[in-house]
Amino acid sequence: MHGDKIVLDLEFTPIRDRDLQQVASNEIIEIGAVKLDEKNHILDEFQQYVKPQYGSIPSYITKITGITEDTVAHAPDYAEAMQHFTRWVGSDVPSRFYTWSNSDQTVILREADLKEVWLEDMYYHYWVDLQRIHQRIYGFTRPMNLMNALGSMQIDFNGTEHGALADARNTAEILCSLSDVKKVRESIETSYVTYNHAESHGFTMGLMFKKK
């Protein structure tokens, strides 16, 4: 029996206290997730804001995520939010977490250490970094951000970027596409991505469709 697939995305804010940074660099301010069955059918979705404990949300984080102090004023703290999320995930069968990069697992575990919160064993295992898988399958020299990875696969981003649930939904689209070998081959054959080392972002992307 296979557990559900949990496609997870987090938004977080930095911890400024240098002593605390020795344990954790960030606090989660939003959790977004999509639950899929073994055939990649969507079963459910989860979204939860989280109130940070150490400091306010800086303006640049608000600009990126849209999350303000008012947004999280009445949100649960990390421990309670993780309890809500864990109940939603379910623990009858260990789930596998799919994320874009491995930073989300790092943030969850380090914040748990900082705040002395006990987590289920599944948070220490069963993680899949889709960013690295995408990089290897497509043969790129280094990993892409979510938006550009979608472009390389000819998938439109749906929703508002850097919203945890929207990012999780779009990451789930990548998971479903990477699971379809035929679709991956067609995508690789009809798109082209180049890296430009002179650019500040590290690469530029051009999408070119082959003529029939």
Domain of 113 in residue numbering reads as 5-141
Question: Is 56 domain-assigned?
Answer: yes
131-156 burial code (b ≥16 CB/10 A, e <16): beebbeebebeebbebebbbbbbeee
- Structure-block tokens of residue 2: 């296979």
Question: Is 65 domain-assigned?
Answer: yes
pLDDT (tens, 9 = 90+) of the chain, 212 residues, equals 467 999 999 999 999 999 999 999 999 999 999 999 989 999 999 999 999 999 999 999 999 999 999 999 999 999 999 999 999 999 767 689 999 999 999 999 999 999 999 999 999 999 999 999 999 998 889 999 999 999 988 899 999 999 999 999 999 999 999 988 877 887 777 765 544 333 333 333 333 233 33
Q: What is the CATH number of the domain that holds 80?
A: 3.30.420.10
State how many domains the chain has. Answer: 1
Question: Is 175 domain-assigned?
Answer: no
Inter-residue contact 94 to 122 (CB < 8 Å): yes
Q: What is the pTM of this model?
A: 0.86
